[in-house]
Structure 1
Amino acid sequence: MNRIKQAFKDRLWLGVIIVGLFAGLIGGGIALGINNLVQHHEEVTSTRVPAGSNRSGGTKVNKNKADLSGEASQAYKSVQGAVVSVINKQKVQQSSGTLGIFGYGSSNRSNSDSSSDNKLETASEGSGVIYKKSGNSAYVVTNNHVVKGSNALQVILSNGKKVNADLVGTDSATDLAVLKINATNVKTVASFGNSNSIVPGQDVLAIGSPMGSEYANTVTKGIISAKDRTLKAGTDGTLTSVIQTDAAINSGNSGGPLINMAGQVIGINSMKLASDTQGSSVEGIGFAIPSNEVVTIINQLIKNGKITRPSLGISMVDLSNVTSDQQQSVLKLPTSVSKGVVIMDVNSGSVADTAGLKKYDVITKLGDTQVTDAGSLKAALYKYKVGQNAKVTYYRDGQQHTATLHLTESADTTSTDDSQQDNN
């Protein structure tokens, strides 16, 4: 009897448990369903575009909390008035033929009736900076390639006034030129800072007319990436030391100033250096001619109208362009000598001739500077002044020799590709 009662109780509790579990599942499902319905309603309500008037959607301009007199802004303001656009105007020959369906064509008149005239048109635009005002004259420094080939030059001042400009002098080796303008409308001149004192990482501004005078007085900010890069500059491939910056320098910025945060010009920007070096436009790499070099060139151009540099009076090729067989059989060089320049011709009565240098001599050193190619030889040579002496180290028939060069003034020379002869 007791066993029957115990079994009944066990079944009763089991039923209670089952019913409880079932009720819990049902209750949980109902609660979950209700919760999902609530969440869905809230989501629909929060994403639906409200109805009613839009009058409350207006706003206002708040007071500008930015510092408008920061270091960069003040530096720009101090120089901005001295930065100009330089317009290179050249002659364009135009025919007076008959205008036909496909443009200008031949006239039915005799050749004697036809005529042509030369009209000045803008060939290119660049930038420049006014660095001096003296009496009625003001002076502008810019790049040589900005003014190259011009038949006339104009300068657009920061106030938009356009004035004519005369070319004082140019230097292709450093890519610099000096212009002279009327000073009547000139209110601001720039000053030069010491480019030897700059350091990588310091802030700089580049100012100019990128893409032409339409964007005159554009300012870009960056840092000095390196203070002493060596590049080939000018038409003769001379190696020169330049400032590298990541401030944007685009076509038209050439000739404009690179300034420090004190508003001093520490370099003259040159897009040509960047394009010649890289072969294409590269983001974040620009170059400027150091201000100390700029001032030296300016003063010589103002004084003489040209740059006087010493010359050796030779034509030469890079040793790297001579085959290893010829280096051994013709030049008889030791295997330890792999860089230098080979003299291909010596002008009679020249510096090299007077010092006893001859054809096929291989120059490896000038002064304390190792000569690796024609560019490095010119860079070393141009550190000397006319009238100074320089020691040259060279190889002849496999033997090393030295000679003393008494440097005289260079004549106008042109250079060719490194694979061909170069003059100096």
Structure 2
Amino acid sequence: MGFYNHEYEREPRRPNKMKWVGMIVLSALVGSASTLAAVPFLLKSNVIAMPQASIGNNLTNTSAPVSNVTVKVNDGVVSAVNKVKAAIVGVVNYGRVTDFWTQNSKVQEQGEGSGIIFDKQGHIITNNHVVEGATSVEVLLPDGKKAKAKVIGTDRYSDLAVLQIPASLVTGVATFGNSDSLQVGEPAIAIGNPLGHEFNQTVTEGVISALSRTMPVKDEKTGQVLGQETVLQTDAAINPGNSGGALCNIEGQVIGINSAKIASAGVEGMGFAIPINEARPIIDDIMKYGHVNYPALGIGVRDVSQVPTEYLPQLPVDYGVFVIQVQSKEAKASGLQRGDVIVALDGEKITDSSTLHTVLFKHKIGDTVKLTVYRDGEKKEISVKLISLSSLNKTQPQGYFGGQGNGNVVP
């Protein structure tokens, strides 16, 4: 999902942190020096009146109590962090970049995120947008060691990916909790690598702010909204680089995978995480097949709002998806045709391709669904048997309005 402002743009990943530190230190020193230089003048002019008992040798006779007792902190948050921190890693995306002038290419870092080791075999869950477009992926372990990671599989619809490192490098394994049992207001702890490896293993604390927010999932390359995803909202600080890291409960169990925040002037404390109960079946499919077995209609579509009016049939509504291509034998057998406009699936309104995916993915492969379509101004009901999305040709359908793709979607 990434980091969003109202224009849905990604924030800069790694600002110059040493510059920040220098500014902070300089400000502190200047402030302290200025204060010390001003004290004699202020005292002499009686601007500051200080009790005599607090000046000179009397300072040694203060009656303030002094304790040499060491306080041992082991509250719930500290205990939770200690349980899970060994399983939180950094994830570095390396990609091949070609110089425009020389046409020479080289592999360089494209961005950094976080990940969670969830089994002793070295499998790691992270966000798809953390590793998308990577030529190679490197994992930064909690002890500072680095390891090359294998990408087991990715899923752009859920924005999740599974990686693997050698089992011998695993120093800790996270435990998954139950995100369905969460309550608004209970503690939430975020752990990850905000701004990259310089701040690895950063812990922030907050609460669960809301349970069922909806956020768009975008294709990183095209910017197209693929669907809507239900997420947890938290006020625990989440920043660029936290993507793929853990959102934990007070028991140190992973209840969410940090993936997004609202990044806009005047907005604070609005971060989002994919609930772990939503992520688990995605993880299972990727581990088993290398991809997720989503149901599909076996057609290519385009949002009605993007279709030139001369191609639209007589349409009494201003929403829906325009059928560009009928691919599967099941869709062809149903009677669907190019030029049909789908406005509902099993009675649920379909406004665009994003809502079509969201509604469609509630079903299973092999289910038969009823589509409400308009054809030449006439309303029709058409039943289609769902197939596996992975069985379809992955290339975009030919452009109905000229050219390949043109924003077309295969659902």
TM-score tier after normalising by the smaller chain length: 0.7 to 0.9
1:148 corresponds to which residue?
Answer: 132
AA paired with 1:333?
A: L
Change (3 A) 1:313 1:138: same
Q: Distance in 1 between matches of 2:148 and 2:182?
A: 35
Q: Which residue of 1 aligns with 2:16?
A: none
Cα distance in 2, alignment partners of residues 263 and 150 from structure 1: 31
Shift of 1:124: 1.5
2:374 pairs with 1:395: yes
**TM-aligned CA deviation for residue 255 of structure 1:** 0.4
Letter of the structure 2 residue corresponding to residue 370 of structure 1:
K
User: 1:358 aligned to 2:337?
Assistant: yes
1:165 and 2:149 equivalent? Answer: yes
Query: Among the aligned pairs, what percent are the same residue?
Result: 38
Equivalent-residue separation in structure 2 for 1:47 and 1:54 (angstroms) = 10
Query: Larger RCO: Structure 1 or Structure 2 (Cα < 8 Å, ≥ 6 residues apart)?
Result: 2
When residues 44 and 314 of structure 1 are mapped into structure 2, their CA distance, relative to the original with a 3 A threshold, is: closer
Distance 1:75 1:49, change over 3 A: closer
Q: Structure 1 pair 395/281, CA: closer, same or farther in 2 (3 Å)? A: farther
1:73 aligns with 2:78: yes
Instruction: Tell me the equivalent position of 1:14.
Output: none
Could you report, residue by residue, the CA deviation over 1:20-67 in whole angstroms, capped at 9, with x for unpaired residues?
A: xxxxxxxxxxxxxxxxxxxxx9x97847983458766899674355x7
Inter-partner Cα distance in structure 1 for 2:355 and 2:169: 43
1:46 and 1:78 map into 2 onto residues whose CA distance is 51
Give CA deviations for 1:82-119 in whole Å, capped at 9, x if unaligned.
Answer: 10111222335689xxxxxxxxx99xxxxxxxx96x65
- 2:69 aligned to 63, 73, 96, which one? 63
Residue 313 to residue 169, structure 1, CA distance change in 2 (3 Å):
same
What residue is the counterpart of 2:286 in the other structure? 301
Unpaired runs of 5+ residues, structure 1, are 1-40, 96-104, 107-114
Q: 2:194 aligned with 1:210, yes or no?
A: yes
Contact 1:346/1:357 (8 A) holds in 2:
no
Query: Which of 1 and 2 has greater Rg?
Result: 1
In 2: Cα distance, 1:88 partner to 1:62 partner: 48
- Letter of the aligned partner of 2:93 in structure 1? N
* 1:3-402 to 2 correspondences below 5 Å: 46=51, 50-52=55-57, 62-63=68-69, 68-92=73-97, 119-133=106-120, 137-235=121-219, 236-237=224-225, 238-271=227-260, 274=261, 282-321=267-306, 326=309, 330-334=312-316, 337-343=317-323, 345-402=324-381
Instruction: State TM-score, norm by structure 1.
Output: 0.73
Cα distance between partner residues in 2 of 1:357 and 1:227 = 38
The one-letter amino acid paired with 1:423 is V
Task: Answer yes or no: is the 8 Å Cα contact 1:346–1:353 preserved in 2.
Answer: no
Tell me the equivalent position of 1:101: none
**CA deviation string 1:201-221 (max 9, x = no partner):** 221111100000111111111
Corresponding residue SS for 1:77: helix
Deviations 1:362-393, CA, capped at 9 Å, x for gaps:
21221243212210101111222322222222
Q: Which runs of 5+ in 2 are unaligned?
A: 1-45, 400-404
AA aligned to 2:279 is: V
Aligned-partner Cα distance in 2 for 1:187–1:281: 40
Distance 1:367 1:177 in 2: 31
- In 2, distance between residues paired with 1:54 and 1:199? 52
TM-score computed with the length of structure 2 as normaliser: 0.75
Matched-pair contact (CA < 8 Å) for 1:391–1:404: yes
How far apart are 1:170 and its partner, in Å?
0.7
Say which SS state the counterpart of residue 242 (structure 1) adopts. Answer: strand
Whole-Å separation in 1 of the counterparts to 2:239 and 2:188: 16
CA RMSD of aligned residues (A): 3.5
With over 3 angstroms needed to count, the CA separation of the structure-2 counterparts of 1:419 and 1:60, relative to structure 1, is farther
In structure 1, what residue type is equivalent to 2:292?
Answer: I
On the 8 A contact 2:326/2:338 being kept in 1, the answer is no
CA 48–59 in structure 1, closer or farther in 2 if over 3 Å, else same: closer
Shift, 1:420, TM fit: 4.5
How many residues are aligned here? 351
- Please state how far the C-alpha of 1:330 moved relative to its aligned partner: 4.7
Deviations 1:123-152 (A, max 9, x none): 21110000011xxx3110111111122222
Q: What secondary structure is seen at the aligned counterpart in 1 of 2:176?
A: coil
CA distance in 2 between counterparts of 1:348 and 1:302 reads 28
Indicate if the aligned counterparts of 1:387 and 1:408 stay in contact, CA closer than 8 A.
yes
Q: Is the 8 A contact 2:343 2:373 kept in 1?
A: yes
Q: Secondary structure at the match of 1:353?
A: helix
State whether residues 326 and 336 of structure 2, in contact with CA within 8 Å, keep that contact through their aligned partners in structure 1.
no
* Structure 1 residues 280 and 233: CA distance shift in structure 2, 3 A: farther
